[in-house]
Amino acid sequence: MKLKENERIDDLQYKDLKIIQNEKAFCFGIDAVLLSDFAKGVKKESVVVDLCSGTGIVAIMLEAKAEIKKIYAVEIQKEMADMCSRSIALNNQQKKIKVLNEDLKNIESILGKASIDAITVNPPYKKVGSGIVNDTDTKSISRHEILCTLEDIIQVSSSILKVSGSLYMVHRMERLVDVIATMRKYKMEPKRIRFIHPTVSKAPNLFLVEGIKNAKPFLKIDTPIYVYDEEGNNTKTINEIYHIKNER
């Protein structure tokens, strides 16, 4: 496998999975790993779409964690979709994961309405506004709603999901209101939320949410995830999600 400039191969420390990332582009964080764990309860033999797939981290991890029929990894940026394809080849996941280098606003016409069992998405977190140096910069596109908005994502998800299909999303707490209100607007009822706190004494900064198409309102809250303990080490929960054996 020949790498392009600034690319490196990272070991995902799970089932020998690898991922190609570009040091100058957006590299995955804990949010993507937590999302793939949150979505692993997806029904067997599901057809899944991973939106805003980037380097494919969520699709790659989820395929290894759950018995899935097919995952479509949708990524609009050509160089990111290309890295994703090569990572999938590196992991021998070509039969299960198919990369779609497409604008998510076009995927309804490709995949069809009400055809998908579940969707995962780790979207750009920030609204377009301050802090963007360059609209065509790949890091800005991964972080800001330049090429798609939260509403685009939820609208497309509601359209391509079957009734009772699940949308699994991770987002920042400051956008909780936007996520909840927009999900309800498109009949993707938020049914389960898990909050992620840096430590026990800090407010949550991220949340995981499962919205179910056309479901009745009633929200279940999972136990919280605390990332670090008081000494700054990973908590047991985090080590379990990362498949790190506790040594003590």
Which window, 38-46, 105-113, 133-141, 214-222, contacts its own copies (CB under 8 A)? Answer: 214-222
Contact 12, 244 (CB under 8 A): no
From the list 38-46, 76-84, 87-95, 198-206, the region that binds its own copies by CB under 8 A is 198-206
72 or 195: whose CB is closer to its own copies? 195
10, 115, 125, 204: which one contacts its own copies (CB under 8 A)?
A: 204
Q: Give me the torsion for CA of 225, 230, 232, 233, rounded to 10°.
A: -60
Rounded to the nearest whole angstrom, what is the least distance from the CB of residue 105 to its own copies in the complex? 23
Residue with tokens 């909840």: 180
Using rule CB under 8 A, residue 217 touches its own copies: yes
- Which lies closer to its own copies via its Cβ, residue 39 or residue 179? 179
Q: What DSSP character marks residue 126? A: B
Report which secondary-structure segment, H or E, holds 193: strand 188-197
Q: Which residues pair with 246 in a beta bridge?
A: none
Q: Does 178 bind its own copies (CB under 8 A)?
A: yes
Q: Is 214 in the site for its own copies (CB under 8 A)?
A: no
Transcribe 198-212 into DSSP letters: SSTTS---EEEEEEE
197 binds its own copies (CB under 8 A): yes
Q: Is 221 in the site for its own copies (CB under 8 A)?
A: yes
How does strand 206-213 pair with strand 161-172? antiparallel
Closest by CA position to 156, among listed 194, 203, 192, 105:
105
Check binding of 195 to its own copies (CB under 8 A): yes
List contacts with its own copies (CB under 8 A): 173-178, 180-181, 184, 189-190, 193, 195, 197, 200-205, 217-224
